[in-house]
Amino acid sequence: MHLQLKRRLYIACILLTGIFTLLMIRLAWVQIVQVNRTMPGFQRTVREMSVLQRERGVVLDTGRGQFTDYKGQPLTGKLEWGLVFFPHTNQSSHSYPSTRADSEVKKMAALLHTNVKLLQEEWNQGDTPHFWTAGARQPVTLTDSQVARLRELQVDGASIYPMMTRYGQGDTGMQWLGYLAERPGSLNTQAGHKDEVKQPFAMKSGAAGLERTLEPLLKGIGPTLVSRMVTGSGEVIATIQPRVIAPSNTHYPLRAQTTIDAKIQQGIEHIVQNSDMKEGAIVVLDAANADVRAMVSLPFYNPQHVDPNQTAWANRAVKGAVPGSIFKIVTAAAALEYQAVSKGETFHCGGEWGKYGLSCWKEHGHGELNLEQGFAESCNIVFAETARRLSMEQLERMADALGLGRPVGWEGKQVAGMSVLQHFDHEEAGRVRLPSVSPQNEGAKVQTAIGQRDVLVTPLQAANLIVTLLHEGKVSAPRLVQRIRYADGDTMLEIPQHDSPSAAGQISPATAHQLLSWMRKVVSEGTGKSLQHARWQVAGKSGTAQVQQRGEKRNHQWFIGYGPTHQPKYAVAVLVQNVAPNSRHQATEMFRKVMDYLAESS
């Protein structure tokens, strides 16, 4: 029995020795080999992660990719100075004054335009470092003079650091850019990826616009933060200086180079702010390739403070609206393509058509008009008579051939690991008619031909329609992004221009030239006469659509066109929504202001 007990003890000792040997080998492997290897699902090594567990940090830069205009001018991402507080959890410690009410702190409060009590409260808020916000939702940006004076004070536990602010201050009309939001359902979408910094500021992702559609490219590989070493109980070790931790990959963050011209975008936003325009959109496309040079949506929004339940963040430039008479371009194209109207044929406009309650905007009518004159004068009677000779299917095919009734914004499949890449978030297709409406319904067809009833067109489609005519009927796909660059400037991804062809084919060059000529006559003889004194010679088509807003009658006003006519540089669409009936045509006025600004800027 004694011998058997000794044998068992011997075996147990051998087993324990083996286990300890394995543990020592494993520990040596971790300490010598694995400590410098990147942990699965993270961008840092075991050594770095062990250090992070003993630190408390604040994010200086989330590492998210930035946007520039087509010339490289930054649209997001500005390096500014902020004040970081490093709270101390133990108020009895001598590292910081318990009240911080000494002369230096009083001077700091004065520099920050606050009082000592509020400063103390925010300083001691939580047990992690944080930027001074003055009670707001965003860190306070310090002025150069504040930075200089605060550095002179050298208050222990408060330090000045550069911080990357994403958006400018105030409201903007760049809804195409979008905004960021805390979206837990969209986090960690990459297999095995985990966020290192568990702070709301670092966890925000794209919720709309290009911020959302380019999310996989923009999310980056990790934040840059400043941290302080802490004890096991979380107290900051004052004798150890703060350190900055940043990703080591020099290729990131990426930069999305848009097609936007920052000067034009800002100029048009300024024009809008100084006008009576309250709702609508303005789109400026490069006439050479349909690239978006400016896209403004009203009302403006603040990308730093977005309420998803409100509508200001929605981009009205890609939302369908009743087009009114600008749709007569489609009807005129169908009449020319299908030879529905004889050359030299005239129509009589007496003001009232006598069917479906249709009348002309001119009370006593225009008298005798041919189709060209009817286009220039935007005569409903001429186009109602023309529509009777066309079928609804012909109008639908012509709209499709001109890039209406379907999304036209740039879209690519299997791009940079994304199954689909779209430039215009939530772009609507628009429509010509509802499926429930019979193609044989003559009343619906006539109303459709003048851009009423169920027709919807987006300002992007309307501007692109002009570019299509300038390119002899070839429909281009407008771009909002032209390339993605690495942080060092090298190109990661080119976004090539491409067309947006229709299964219905395209209109003939002769028809395109004819319509452009008629648009010039709109300005020289028709509804656009007020544009004759613009800095450029311009051409286009006006439109007024009757709509209802909360049961009240309202109008959508349009003007779309191009300039200068001898060598077109820009195609512009202006939509002014929900104005009172019989009010002046703000869209035409705004079109002139935009074109004059473009002329000055060229």
Residue 578, sorted as left (phi over 0), alpha (psi -120 to 50) or beta, turns out to be left
The per-residue pLDDT for 49 is 55
**pLDDT over 90 (residue 243):** no
Of residues 556 and 102, the one with the higher pLDDT is: 556
Cα 394 from chain centre: 35
Question: What 3-state DSSP class applies to 469?
Answer: helix
pLDDT at 100: 46
Using a 10 angstrom Cβ sphere, with 0-12 exposed, 13-18 middle and 19 or more buried, the burial of residue 560 is buried
**What integer pLDDT is reported at residue 475 of this predicted model?**
98
Q: Is the peptide bond before 162 cis (omega within 30 degrees of 0)?
A: no
Q: Left if phi > 0, otherwise alpha if psi is -120 to 50, otherwise beta: which for 111?
A: alpha
Residue 190 pLDDT exceeds 60: no
Question: Where are the extended beta strands (E) located within 363-443?
Answer: 367-370, 411-415, 418-422
- Which of 593, 595, 576 lies closest to 584 in space, CA to CA? 576
What residue spans of 200-261 are helical by DSSP H?
200-203, 209-213, 215-218
- Portion of the chain with pLDDT greater than 90, in percent: 63
**Residue 58 pLDDT:** 84
Confidence at residue 257, expressed as pLDDT on a 0 to 100 scale: 98
Q: pLDDT value at position 92?
A: 43
**Confidence class for position 451, pLDDT limits 50, 70, 90:** very high
| pLDDT attached to residue 93 | 43
Percent of residues, the chain, with pLDDT higher than 70: 88
Average pLDDT, integer, range 217-228: 85
Mean pLDDT, rounded, for 590-601 = 97
Q: Within its chain, how far is the Cα of 431 from the centroid?
A: 24
Best mean pLDDT range from 130-139, 154-163, 172-181: 172-181
Q: Which two tokens stand for residue 302?
A: 């603040």
Instruction: Evaluate if residue 203 carries a pLDDT over 80.
Output: no
3-state DSSP of 282-299 = EEEEECCCCCEEEEEEEC
480-507 residue pLDDT tens: 999 999 999 999 999 999 999 999 999 9
Q: How confident is the model at residue 145 (pLDDT cuts 50, 70, 90)?
A: very high
Please, what is the end-to-end C-alpha distance for the chain in angstroms? 105
pLDDT of residue 3: 74
pTM: 0.86
212 pLDDT more than 70: yes
Mean pLDDT, all residues of the chain: 88
CA distance 483 to 423: 12
Residues 420-429: tens digit of each pLDDT: 999 999 999 9
Confidence check: pLDDT of 556 > 70: yes
> Is residue 192 predicted with pLDDT exceeding 60?
no
Question: What phi and psi values does residue 243 have, to the nearest 5 degrees?
Answer: -135, 155
* pLDDT-wise least confident of 37-41, 148-152, 443-447, 463-467: 37-41
pLDDT in tens, 272-284: 999 999 999 999 9
Q: How many residues does the chain have?
A: 602
Q: Is 45 exposed, middle or buried (0-12, 13-18, 19+ CB in 10 A)?
A: middle
Contact 460, 318 (CB under 8 A): yes
- The one-letter code for the residue type at 425 is D
pLDDT confidence bin for 195, thresholds 50/70/90:
very low
Beta strand 481-485 with 491-494 is: antiparallel
Extract the tokens encoding 123. 């300083």
| Mean pLDDT score, 471-488 | 97
**E strand map for 184-251:** 204-208, 224-229, 243-245
pLDDT at 53 over 60: no
Runs of H (alpha helix) within 496-574 = 509-524
Pair of tokens at residue 380: 């409903």
Where does residue 537 rank: exposed (0-12), middle (13-18), buried (19+ CB within 10 A)?
middle
Lowest mean pLDDT among 62-66, 199-203, 478-482: 199-203
**SS3 letters for 97-162?**
CCCCCCHHHHHHHHHCCCCHHHHHHHHCCCCCCEECCCCCCCCCCCCHHHHHHHHHHCCCCEEEEE
Q: Which residues pair with 131 in a beta bridge?
A: 84
Residue 199: pLDDT over 50: no
Confidence class for position 30, pLDDT limits 50, 70, 90 = low
Q: How far is CA 297 from the centre of its chain?
A: 10
pLDDT digits (tens, 9 = 90+) for 340-396: 998 889 999 988 887 887 888 888 889 999 999 999 999 999 999 999 999 999 999
For 294-316, write each residue's pLDDT tens digit.
999 999 999 998 988 888 999 99
Confidence check: pLDDT of 555 > 90: yes
Which pLDDT score, from 0 to 100, does residue 227 have?
Answer: 80
The per-residue pLDDT for 94 is: 42
Segment 313-330 mean pLDDT: 97
Mean pLDDT of 170-177: 96
pLDDT for res 550: 87
Stretch 60-78: mean pLDDT, rounded?
A: 95
Distance CA 244, CA 396 (A): 61
Residues 6+ apart with CB under 8 A from 43: 196, 221, 222, 247
Does residue 223 have a pLDDT over 70?
yes
Q: What pLDDT score was predicted for residue 231? A: 66
CB hemisphere CA count around 424 (13 angstroms):
26
pLDDT of residue 48: 55
